[in-house]
Amino acid sequence: MFWGFWKHGSNAALGVLIVFVAVMDSWPWLVHPWLLVVGAGLLFVSEYGVHRYAVHAPPGRRMILKLQPRLHYDHHVDPGRLDLLALPLWFVIPNLAVTAAVAWLIWPSWAEIGALLAGTSAAILYYEWVHYLAHIPYRPRTRWGRWVKKYHLWHHFKNEGFWFGVTNPVGDLAMRSYRRVDETAASGTTRMQSSVVGRQLSEGE
């Protein structure tokens, strides 16, 4: 299970980037720990917005339309395909580059930029890990982990118009896209009654 996670998408590249920054900058988070937190915060702030307003944008309304199939739509068509689960390198690397360029205008220091990127990369890996566990036949050990797994599966198999968070429900609560699952009608494109989904949801109990 653990090694399978590193075979998909940009996960291994992000791990290498974190190690590279640590070695080149002599463990910059020991010098700039607050930038590590800022970097991670950037991911968690953008997690909800990108999911809801970019990859779930209605067809024809945004230029990202051409990217949507690989980024997200195909993942909804077949949530069990692990090769479609993680973010692709061609999406992650440009976003990290833009983040670094903007940060350079504020903190023109490689050590500080390295700490920021390490924090963002670590947060992306956490996001991918939570997402990965939600889609494989695995029962998380903690109550929070089991709830987050169910929370994400509701988005896939109950109604994709709600529950856009993956690691936490803060964005959904703030933007009113969180609903009680027993009070939400199933959308026409979900398959709530499939046996696979039933097993996945039971693992989140």
* Number of Cβ atoms within 10 Å of the Cβ of 55: 20
**What is the model's pLDDT at position 150?**
96
Torsion sign, CA atoms 62, 66, 68, 73: positive
pLDDT of residue 30: 61
pLDDT value at residue 84: 81
Q: Which of 76, 75, 95 is nearest to 86 (CA)?
A: 75
| Displacement of CA 27 from its chain's centroid (Å) | 25
Note the pLDDT of residue 64. Answer: 54
The pLDDT value given to residue 164: 95
pLDDT digits (tens, 9 = 90+) for 111-150: 888 889 989 999 999 999 999 999 999 999 999 999 999 9
Answer whether 160's CB lies under 8 Å from 190's CB.
yes
pLDDT tens over the chain, length 205 residues: 677 888 888 899 999 888 887 777 666 556 678 888 999 999 998 999 988 887 776 665 555 555 655 556 678 888 888 888 888 888 899 999 999 999 999 988 888 888 899 899 999 999 999 999 999 999 999 999 999 999 999 999 999 999 999 999 999 999 999 999 999 998 876 754 444 444 444 455 5
Q: What is the pLDDT of residue 181?
A: 92
Contact in structure between 44 and 124 (CB atoms under 8 Å) = no
Report the C-alpha gap between 46 and 124 in whole angstroms.
11
